[in-house]
Amino acid sequence: MFKPDGKYPIELHSFLAEQNKTWELCRSNYDALKRVLTKEFTIDGNIVRVQFNPARLTSTSAKVDSASITARKCFLCRENRPPEQNDFHLDEQFYVLVNPFPIFPEHFTVTLKDHLPQEIGGRIKELLRITSELTAEYIVFYNGPKCGASAPDHFHFQAGNKDFLPLFGADGIKSENILWSKQFQSASAKGIDDGLRKFVLIESPDRADAEELFVLFDSAYRRHRKDSAEPLYNLVCAKEGEAYKLVVLLRAKHRPGYYFAEGPEQVLLSPASVDVCGVCITPREEDFNKVNEVMLKNIFSEVFISREELISSGEIKI
Ligand SMILES: [Zn+2]
């Protein structure tokens, strides 16, 4: 076990360097990432990059139905991890692991020590706390069990370099796209439709206020949907100066029609947090070559809720 003394992010840089020294698969995938092909589009004023990343094929095509999950050994449980994979003791609850199939120049999995299901109820506090601990260099994110998590049976967040995601860039979130806003103590929530995505932006300098406003939004949204199950969320959290910024991406489905099409119509693109924040991963070269602006627009439109649903999600009782 790699025992830190709290001097992040320097220790995370060293942890990654140590894993690259001792773990061949990890090193070769981080090396390959330096030469990865990307292409860039601007859609309705939003930057979307497409990354051709063959190492992500297993994750993109992961079977996440409950029968397939039950039939395999959990790759986040300590006893099933590759012997080369070291763990970094973050606190009593969580380990940090280096993700050996990176999308970010530094890509970590922040995994609960216990094998408990991926559900955000009661854990938004941990998302904000871990974001605070890992410093402003990283974003910390959560993929819901039905919209991107490839281990829906074992609770985990991921972390990566903040400046890598277009939505978190200088011009990523534009005020003209705000459809509604709410205030709770020091925290604000804004419903945003930027032409590609429908999301709620929660901002506050106070972690407890941000958490409370998320909980208020979450219960209102479940009531509105008339479904108490966890809505399809991708949650991405960053710290900017003294303020926390929590982006709640409101998904309608996990994988678009292109994913399930057959023959030349098929595009293996399985959107999770990173993709919907503006870096779309295509593990196959033919998909990377094929993807164009129209396809990306269709994919985003299919996997997000409608503008009307976003408007009604703002009926939060404070
Ligand atoms: Zn597990």
pLDDT at 273 over 90: yes
C-alpha 297 – ligand 1 centre gap (Å): 35
Question: What band does 8 get if pLDDT is binned at 50, 70 and 90?
Answer: low
What is the percentage of the chain residues whose pLDDT exceeds 90? 82
pLDDT at 91 over 80: yes
In this prediction, residue 58 carries a pLDDT of 80
pLDDT at 4 over 70: no
In this prediction, residue 316 carries a pLDDT of 85
C-alpha 240 – ligand 1 centre gap (Å): 32
For the CA atoms of 35, 37, 42, 46, the dihedral, rounded to the nearest 10 degrees, stands at -60
In this prediction, residue 153 carries a pLDDT of 95
C-alpha 66 – ligand 1 centre gap (Å): 14
In this prediction, residue 1 carries a pLDDT of 57
**Ion ligand 1 nearby residues (CB, 5 A):** 74, 76-77, 115, 154
C-alpha 32 – ligand 1 centre gap (Å): 28
In this prediction, residue 6 carries a pLDDT of 58
In this prediction, residue 269 carries a pLDDT of 95
Least confident range from 38-47, 61-70, 258-267: namely 61-70
pTM of structure: 0.95
C-alpha 79 – ligand 1 centre gap (Å): 9
In this prediction, residue 43 carries a pLDDT of 96
C-alpha 165 – ligand 1 centre gap (Å): 28
C-alpha 114 – ligand 1 centre gap (Å): 7
What is the percentage of the chain residues whose pLDDT exceeds 70? 97
Question: What band does 61 get if pLDDT is binned at 50, 70 and 90?
Answer: confident
C-alpha 169 – ligand 1 centre gap (Å): 34
The pLDDT tens digits of the residues spanning 110-152 come to 999 999 999 999 999 999 999 999 878 899 999 999 999 989 9
C-alpha 27 – ligand 1 centre gap (Å): 24
C-alpha 53 – ligand 1 centre gap (Å): 26
C-alpha 197 – ligand 1 centre gap (Å): 31
C-alpha 158 – ligand 1 centre gap (Å): 15
pLDDT at 317 over 70: yes
CATH topology of domain 10-312: HIT family, subunit A (3.30.428)
